Amino acid sequence: MINQYPWWKNLLIVVVMVVGAFYALPNIYGEDPAIQVSSVRGAAVTDATVDDVRSQLRRLEIDSKAMDLEPQGLIVRFNNTEEQLKARDGLKKSLDEGYVVALNLAPSTPDWLRALGAMPMYLGLDLRGGVHFLMEVDTDAAIEMAEDRYVGDIRGLMRDSKIRYLTIGRASAGGVQIKFRSVEDRKSAETLIRKEFRDLLLADEEQGDAFLMSVKLADQEMRETRKLAVQQNVTTLRNRINELGVAEPLIQQQGENRIVVQLPGVQDTARAKEILGATATLDFRMADETGDLQDAIGGRVPVGSRLYKERNGNPVLLQKNIIITGDSIVDASSGLDQTDASPAVFISLNGTGASKMHDTTKENVGKLMAVVFVESKTETTIVDGVEVKRKFKVEEVISLARIREPFSKRFQITGLDGANEARDLALLLRAGALSAPLEIIEERTVGPSLGQDNIDMGMKSMVAGFVVVMLFMAFYYRAFGMIANVTLAMNLMLLVALLSMLQATLTLPGIAGIVLTIGMAVDANVLIYERIREELRNGNSPQASIHAGFERAAATIADSNITTLIAGITLFWLGSGPVKGFAVVLCLGILTSMFTAILGTRALVNLAYGGRRVNKLSI
């Protein structure tokens, strides 16, 4: 019979609407002020931790709304932000150094919905409040670090092959410079280096009686080194932020050497800023016990050694050769040394690092080994009214101990200033050392009140657009306009449900996409209704006009929506940040609009007019 759907198609629409309503429902419950307690040692927070937190809150006379033990840690919910801040301050003082207490906002979705996997959309920085960092990676430093590694590798290669050289080190203009006594030594070294490092560019130079060779990275390797430095820093920052316990962070590359970090819900940015920008790592070196320390202090440092200072200012002479760096560390935790209860960091190495450490300590039992703390910093000064940035490296010996027996994979370091430094150093080492220094070049803070203002204005814009469209459709298309309004509400519900199911992050551009979707959703209804009116004017019966209107408008609707979908996909592909958020909502809105405008509207029209004689349509 004309204008009637088979039962299965009506059932399909009903099932889709019910599922959509179910997954859209959590968004009406809002969020609770909360704190997140997580372990910085990577261990799971246990029921004992829950009991400890509960007893501490009872001591502080703070009532918690609920406590949920989740994979990322313990989430404690409160009735208001005053209790949240008071609990955060109290727990930071009472819990031991192994825990991080971070402010958070937890969805207040009922347990029965959460048990079935229904969760609300995440809110972006502009809606939830938080902090935005734009960080620049010093890719030139990554090149310098790569050249330093080649210095060590080439020095060891020539030593093993017994090729004599005078000096080897980084050149001031870039690259590695090697000085030889004779042409024969230089030629032998050139043959060896070309064989072992085929991608390096070699060139011979003359300087008085010395014979020089310059070694430079190829352009392709330099590009790859810069690219890899940014990618590794993105991964490292993500690990560090996970350690901080921040929910739904955004970390992504912007351009060739910049990284955007957004931390929604963060209200106190001091610790986040300190951890994100830190470039601390460790070098393990053998002490030079044969060189004359006084001569080194006077400026005559032995070849193959460097002069360092301990934290108390005492000079110490160390070998230039690095045993391992922080890159070999796979796990690190802070604690207390069992002998004297001093702060310590317990280190675990990967297979390669453990092998190097075992070989070195086995050959040097009874000798001194140093742990050097290395940190890159940037200092900004004003010179003649111009802001000048100076980059420098802080290197200090934090531990100088005699090797009692060989060790490899697990050991501990001491000599730290306190428990806080031990905890932060363990966090940095466990999350990974930055492959190149980072500088925060832009910082913006969005307060939670401003975020709420954005939500309120966004909601008002959606409601205003929704109401205006509904009034126009009801006035212009009468009963058919009311049907379009019902499907418009269905479309909005399905769009919210899809965003919730995908756990997408809603931002202001996303709200703009929803408002645009509301306007575009009725566009298909307008095309269908105008086609029906045209068929009626041509003298066709109401039922035939309905059938022709839906059938003949389908191709036009598909064409207009597919072209818009292509534009949305292009925006997502080429855009970044807010543009991508807008594109995601736009593309999902097109899909839901086509479903509700074609199938949903047709089903309601069929229910109202199908299967019976109709003399006149209210359109």
**Are 16 and 43 members of one domain?**
no
617 sits in the region (left: phi over 0; alpha: psi -120 to 50; else beta) called: beta
> Is residue 486 situated within a structural domain?
yes
**Which residue reads 């379009």 in tokens?**
484
CATH code of the domain containing 493? 1.20.1640.10
Q: Does residue 550 contact residue 470 with C-beta atoms inside 8 Å?
A: no
Answering whether pTM is above 0.85, one says no
Query: Considering the domain boundaries, does residue 248 fall inside one?
Result: no
Distance CA 227, CA 162 (A): 36
Residues 12 and 102 in one domain: no
Last residue of a domain, one of 221, 256, 290: 221
In three-state secondary structure terms, 173 is coil
Quick check: is 258 in a domain? Answer: no
Domain span holding position 101: 30-108
Are 179 and 168 in contact, with CB atoms under 8 Å apart?
yes
Enumerate residue ranges in the chain where pLDDT < 50: 41-43
Give the Å distances, CA to CA, from 607 to 5, 480, 602.
9, 12, 9
Please give the pLDDT value at position 273: 66
Same domain, 300 and 355: yes
Q: How far apart are CA 465 and CA 477, in angstroms?
A: 18
**Is 120 a member of any domain?**
no
* In a shared domain, residues 302 and 416: yes
Tell me what pLDDT residue 18 has.
92
Residues 458 and 598 in one domain: yes
Contacts of residue 458, defined as CB under 8 A and 6 or more positions apart, other chains included, come to: 127, 508, 511
Write down the pLDDT at residue 601.
87
CB 145 within 8 A of CB 132: no
Look at residue 450 in the predicted model and tell me its pLDDT: 62
Residues 358 and 425 in one domain: yes
132: phi then psi, degrees, rounded to nearest 5: -120, 125
- Residue 387: per-residue pLDDT: 65
Residue 449: its pLDDT value, please? 62
569 vs 564: CA distance, rounded Å: 9
Cβ atoms of 549 and 535 within 8 Å: the answer is yes
Number of structural domains the chain divides into: 4
Q: Output the domain CATH number for residue 291.
A: 3.30.1360.200
Does a structural domain hold residue 272?
Answer: no
* Structure confidence at residue 420 (pLDDT): 66
Residues 6+ apart with CB under 8 A from 162: none
| Sole residue written with tokens 């990618």 | 231
Task: Examine the domain organization and report whether 313 and 185 are in the same domain.
Answer: no
Buried b / exposed e over 515-536, threshold 16 CB at 10 Å, is: bbbbebbbebbbbbbebbbebb
| Domain annotation covers residue 260 | no
- Position 86 in a domain: yes
Please list, in sequence order, all residues whose beta carbon lies within 8 angstroms of the beta carbon of residue 492, skipping any fewer than 6 positions away: 466, 514, 517, 518, 521
Is residue 161 located within the same domain as residue 12? no
Return the pLDDT at 373.
78
Number of other residues whose CB lies within 10 A of the CB of residue 51: 10
DSSP 8-state symbol, 326: G
Q: What pLDDT is stored for residue 41 in this prediction?
A: 46
The CATH number of the domain holding residue 168 is 3.30.1360
Same domain, 82 and 164: no
Examine residue 164 and state whether it is found in any structural domain, yes or no.
yes
pLDDT tens-place string over residues 8-55: 888 988 999 999 999 999 888 877 888 878 765 444 577 888 888 888
Question: What's the confidence (pLDDT) of residue 577?
Answer: 66
DSSP three-state, residue 34: strand
- Could you give the 3-state DSSP secondary structure of residue 342? coil
Phi/psi at 192 (5° precision): -65, -45
**Last residue of one domain, picked from the residues 221, 236, 253:** 221
User: Which CATH number fits the domain that encloses residue 99?
Assistant: 3.30.70.260
Angle subtended by helix axes 508-537 and 542-574, to nearest 10 = 150
Question: What's the pLDDT at 379?
Answer: 61
Check whether residue 89 and residue 160 sit in a common domain.
Answer: no
474 and 604 together in one domain:
yes
* Interatomic CA distance for residues 228 and 143, integer angstroms: 11
> Do 65 and 207 belong to one domain?
no
